A = this chain, B = another copy of it.
Amino acid sequence: MTEWMKALSLTKPVIQAPMAGGLVTPSLASAVSNEGALGSLASGYLSPDMLEKQIIEMQQLTDRVFQVNVFVPESRNEPAEDTVRIWKNKIPFAEQAPPFSSEEEEWEDFHEKINIILKHNVKACSFTFGIPPGESIQALKKNGCSLIGTATTPEEAVLLEKRGMDIIVLQGSEAGGHRGSFLPVSGESALGLMSLIPQAADSVSVPVIAAGGIADRRGVQAAHCLGAHGVQVGTPFLMCEECEVSETYRRELKKAQGTDTRLTSLFSGKPARGIVNQWMKEQQAEEANALPYPLQNTLTKPMRKHAAKEKDSGYMSLWAGQSVGMLNGPIDVKTLLAELC
């Protein structure tokens, strides 16, 4: 057993990916933790109140360690008013969207969530989209919380280690959902795991966890050969009975092949991998003009909500990794974890 597993009292080197947007609830995360892997709550689109409610529920459902994932706010360039108006006209139901949050409000939300994590003594906390502020890192560490960063390049991994992360999740280009990239690159940051893991593993001394496209035992073993100390798995958990995804989404997951997915910024303003659908097809040419995160996300929220209610997969975000074609299911968490390792 490697050190990171010992620190988190894990018996399986598997992290359930913290998939935001209502996909993971205490029901899924606690089932994962109870099997000896690391269950994850995703605070990304939750209000601080809702997060607190989920943590309390989670602590009733499991005695084992779980993590909360938090999005790190990014400084953003305010878009031109014209661009905003164009999107408001283009996105169905955008007129029902709430006002845009400011960067200041994003940070307030971040700090409130960190305080809740501290208050409830959550023992692991992961970050996406960047590096948390030093004060948050110090406070969490003082509280005995393991810190998990997300990197898409060796350079990001190095910086995360330097700033105090205890574990680094390496997200390969295969991964579904949002890419956690935060440093600029001259080419593209979407490295496949075959390239990313060995280079990052050689660059840092903390444990690295492979994420992206891992759907069975073969992927877990390959990640290990490449130098990873564990794996993070997302899409396969969406087929678990314990996961609260809609039947519409699950049906699309079951039909899709990896080549049906691509990266898109059209839902949130940040690149994320999902199954190509009507919205992505219609707006493909406008991809590069999407509003910065989280503004695009705010405007598409009513559209996505409406589509989910109407069971219309054409306008929902259907995040999925490139191994979506390997999914069987429905399955339960125990069986999935037994198949992984």
Contact = CB atoms under 8 A, between A and B. Distances in A.
Contacts of A196: 258, 322
Given A222-B222, A225-B221, A257-B154, A174 B195 contact: yes
Contacts of A314: none
A174 B191 contact: yes
Residues of A contacting B: mostly = mixed
Given A323-B198, A325-B154, A188 B261 contact: yes
Given A188-B262, A222-B225, A323 B194 contact: yes
Nearest to A219: B194
Contact of A258 (B199, B321, B325): B199
A194 B191 contact: no
Residue of A172, A187, A193, A321 with most partner-chain B CB within 10 A: A187
A188 B256 CA distance: 12
Interface in A267-289: 275-276
A155 B210 CA distance: 26
A109 interface: no
A74 to B, nearest CB: 19
Interface in A214-235: 214-216, 218-219, 221-227
Nearest to A273: B187
A106 interface: no
B260 A186 contact: yes
26 contacts: A153-B258, A173-B192, A174-B192, A185-B257, A185-B260, A187-B259, A187-B260, A187-B261, A187-B275, A189-B259, A191-B213, A191-B322, A192-B322, A194-B214, A194-B222, A195-B213, A195-B323, A195-B326, A198-B216, A199-B325, A218-B225, A218-B227, A219-B226, A221-B222, A222-B222, A222-B223
* The 8 nearest A-B residue pairs measured at CB: A192-B192, A195-B322, A195-B213, A185-B259, A222-B222, A174-B192, A194-B213, A221-B225
